[in-house]
Amino acid sequence: MTDNEITASEENSPSKTKSLKPLRELLQFLWPHKSRLIAASVALVFTAMAQLSLGYGIRILIDQGFANSSQDGLRQAVVFMIVVGFAMASGAFIRFYLVSWLGERVSADLREKVFNNLLTVHPGFYEKNYAGEIMSRLTTDTTLLQTLIGSSVSLAARSTLTLIGALILMSLTNFKLTLIMLIGVPLTLLPVLYLGRRVRKLSNKSQASIASVGNRAGEVLQSIKIVQSFQREAMERDVFGREVDIAFQIARKRIQQRAWLMACAIFLFLGGMVGMMWTGGQDVLAGRMSGGDLGAFVFYAVMLGSAFATLSEVWGDLQRAAGAAERLVELLHQDSDIVDDGEESMPYGQAVVASDLTFVYPSRPNTPALSGFNLTIPPGKTLALVGPSGAGKSTIFELLQRFYDPTAGQLTYGGKTLSDYSLAQWRQKLALVPQSPILFSGDIAYNIGYGNADASREQIEAAAEAAYAKEFIERLPNGLESEIGAQGVQLSGGQRQRIALARAILKNPEILLLDEATSALDTESEHYVQLALSELTRDRTTIVIAHRLSTIMNADAIAVVDNGSVVDVGTHNELLARCGLYQRLASMQFKEPDGNVDENQSKVMPATVVPEAV
Ligand SMILES: Nc1ncnc2c1ncn2[C@@H]1O[C@H](COP(=O)(O)OP(=O)(O)OP(=O)(O)O)[C@@H](O)[C@H]1O
Ligand SMILES: [Mg+2]
């Protein structure tokens, strides 16, 4: 997508001066494999030399074999060439193996390192940078770099060597002709450099638009049911078609530039060759030069030419790869906004206190989600948060888990700000059952076990039982080993919720965060889960968000949240007696099952008509 941070910055990087700089970052990935790198370089130099020495073979062939009509000379030349051919083949084998190995290894390492870093980045990052796009970088961009290291760089090195070697041998063979060739070289260089620069810019754009295509497809396919149910296939087809077409158009421009690049190089080079042959031919005719020398010279010139063409080709690759490296390095160095440098030793069983907490989501700088939020969560107690949708209840959970840090005010545990503790130690204390359960593809045991890596089979079963999930799991074909599909699509909403609950139970946290943890359950299962929860939450700090007040009436305290702050805290009865918002929420809910009470009426319903217990 064009409005995201990374694409924007890459499109804004016009300077050619820093064009290949990002590639320098790759050196640190090559360094650990330096012995292979050295071996590959040796093989490379060796093959380049062997290749160049073929020119010598050609000279013997012509001057001693053909010119003298000598069998011996012919045999000598052929034997020489066979030996050189064998040397070249073995050198090429070693070089190819080692260099491709390096390419694969470095791109694998890079992929891994980038992913490892992405795991630690603050979740807010992924609101602006779509997962699909990042994934495409991890695959296409690393593949580009793999090609770069696995072939382009070695081609470039080999061609450079050949180029230098050919030049030296050419000057030794015939200095005047070499000079003529050399005049042609700068002429070819100019258009090549100019076109190369444009190729790079277009490559960056091309990669970004392909990433955006992938992103779009991913999102649509993940939500295929919504697409089909609202019959937006045609619309999605058009939008996708347009994106694909944009990607194609950019790619087409890039290919065009590259085609020009190649054509220019070839044409200019051949022009030079023809000029050289003509001048050289004159010398041979006049007897100033042997036919063998001209033959060898032409051979060197062809080598030089092809080396040069390869280089101009590789130059394009290098610039493409530089674009890819730039984007990957960005991801590699992406810092987390959540600073993890707290060193306080972690106490146990303390109160969590929010004092004057203000929080603004980075993407909504003008509307604070929380403002002047004050709340004390005593240890070992159950505190419920109620309030209208969008009041900021889930947001406080985000802050508690340090997915974001407060904009102003403080969130403390045991009197110290959460950032005074190490992130790992703090999160170890928490377990969340999120508002919409997030599961992974895999079986049920894996998903419950996600809560605690060290859990035994028995513990997983016990957690499933505590979450009232055992009964439905047993009815599945493979029990705990039943696969649940991507994001758990093969389960019902209520089943997913119970798996998420079991996962949190398995972690056995000091602080349990339940965000609408039972909202998707039927009344009967909810009743049982509530029973299990009351067992679980006893003596455990628990924060429950619930819309259904019946589920939280027994909480030690209930905080009413409205518009980003806490408007009142008390028990169910206290709040019923004094908190207008709570009365409204309560009267609407407890009246609804009887039907027929409309909203306006229920708003004026006196608190006393609300049943004390349900
Ligand atoms: N990632 C986000 N980026 C920007 N704004 C957000 C983000 N998440 C939530 N908000 C906004 O913050 C406000 C509080 O949202 P929050 O999710 O805390 O509400 P809630 O009380 O949990 O509501 P509900 O009961 O519907 O779950 C809302 O106005 C919402 O639009
Ligand atoms: Mg919420």
- pLDDT tens-digit readout, 132-181: 778 878 888 888 888 888 888 888 888 888 888 888 888 888 888 888 77
Q: Is 205 helix (H, G, I), strand (E, B) or coil?
A: helix
Q: Are 149 and 141 in contact (CB under 8 A)?
A: no
User: How confident is the model over 384-388, as a mean pLDDT?
Assistant: 92
Residue that terminates a domain, selected from 272, 299, 332: 332
* Residues 538, 545: Cα–Cα separation, whole Å: 17
**Percent of the chain whose predicted confidence (pLDDT) is above 70:** 92
**125 in contact with ligand 1, CB cutoff 6 A:** no
For residue 33, what are the domain limits?
5-10+19-332
Neighbours of 409 (CB within 10 A): 17
User: Are 193 and 53 part of one and the same domain?
Assistant: yes
- Of 6-20, 383-397, 402-416, give the lowest mean pLDDT range: 6-20
**Does ligand 1 come within 6 angstroms of the Cβ of 394?**
yes
- Res 316 pLDDT > 90: no
Mean pLDDT computed over every residue of the chain: 83
Band of residue 27 on the pLDDT scale cut at 50, 70, 90:
confident
pLDDT at 186: 67
Residue 395 Cβ contacting ligand 1 at under 6 Å: yes
Could you tell me which residue, 204 or 337, shows the higher pLDDT?
337
Residue 57 lies in a domain: yes
The answer to whether residue 598 scores a pLDDT higher than 70 is no
Ligand 1 contact via 366 beta carbon (within 6 Å): no
Report the SS3 class of residue 496. Answer: helix
Closest ligand 1 atom to 392 CA: 18
Query: Domain end: 302, 332, 362, which one?
Result: 332
Helix or strand holding residue 374 (H, E): strand 370-377
- Residue 161: the pLDDT is 87
**For residue 369, which ligand has an atom nearest its CA?**
1
As a whole-number percent, the residues of the chain with pLDDT over 90 amount to 30
pLDDT one-digit tens code per residue, 502-555? 999 999 999 999 998 888 778 877 887 787 788 788 889 999 998 888 888 888
The whole-number pLDDT of residue 188 equals 63
pLDDT at 435 over 50: yes
Residue 236 has pLDDT above 80, yes or no: yes
Pick the range with the lowest mean pLDDT from 7-11, 62-66, 472-476: 7-11
Of 332, 366, 390, the domain-final residue:
332
401 CA → ligand 2 middle, Å = 14
For strand 408-413 and strand 416-417, is the pairing parallel, antiparallel, or unpaired? antiparallel
Distance 126 CA to ligand 1 centre (A): 16
Average pLDDT of the residues in 482-501:
87
Give the model's pLDDT for residue 369: 94
Q: What total of structural domains would you count in the chain?
A: 2
Whether 276 and 388 share a structural domain = no
400 vs 2, higher pLDDT: 400
How many CB atoms sit inside 10 A of residue 102's CB? Answer: 21
Please give the angle made by the CA atoms of 139, 451 and 420, to the nearest 5 degrees.
Answer: 85
- How does residue 58 score in pLDDT terms, banded at 50, 70 and 90? confident
pLDDT for residue 15 is more than 70: no
DSSP state of 6: H
Q: Separation of 585 CA from ligand 2 center, angstroms?
A: 16
- pLDDT band at residue 184 under the 50/70/90 scheme: low
Domain contains 564: yes
Q: Is 462 helix (H, G, I), strand (E, B) or coil?
A: helix
Whether 127 and 202 map to the same domain: the answer is: yes
500 in a structural domain: no
Residue 28: per-residue pLDDT: 87
Q: Is the pLDDT of residue 370 over 80?
A: yes
Residue whose CA lies nearest to ligand 1 atom number 31: 390
**Residue 189 tokens, joined:** 């260089």
So what's the pLDDT on residue 567? 93
Contact call for residues 16 and 197 (beta carbons, < 8 A): yes
**How far apart are the two ends of the chain, measured CA to CA in Å?**
50
What's phi and psi for 365, nearest 5 deg? -60, -20
Residues 184 and 291 in one domain: yes
Does residue 479 belong to any structural domain of this protein? no
Residue 407 belongs to a domain with what CATH number? 3.40.50.300
Q: What is the pLDDT of residue 19?
A: 67
Residues 6+ apart with CB under 8 A from 452: 459, 506, 507, 508
The protein residue whose alpha carbon is closest to atom 30 in ligand 1 is: 390
- Check residue 296 and give its pLDDT: 85
Kindly state whether residues 402 and 266 are assigned to the same domain.
Answer: no
Residue to probe by mutation, ligand 1, list 395, 401, 548, most atoms within 8 Å of CB? 395
pTM of the shown model: 0.75
Outline where 290-334 has alpha helix (H). Answer: 291-332
CA of 395 relative to ligand 2 center, distance in Å: 7
In a shared domain, residues 308 and 416: no
Same domain, 354 and 323: no
298 and 150 assigned to the same domain: yes
Identify whether residues 325 and 363 lie together within a single domain: no
Bridge partners of residue 375, in order along the sequence = 354
Residues 33, 154 within the same domain = yes
Question: In terms of domains, do 81 and 195 share one?
Answer: yes
What's the pLDDT score for residue 11?
Answer: 38
Is 153 contained in some domain?
A: yes
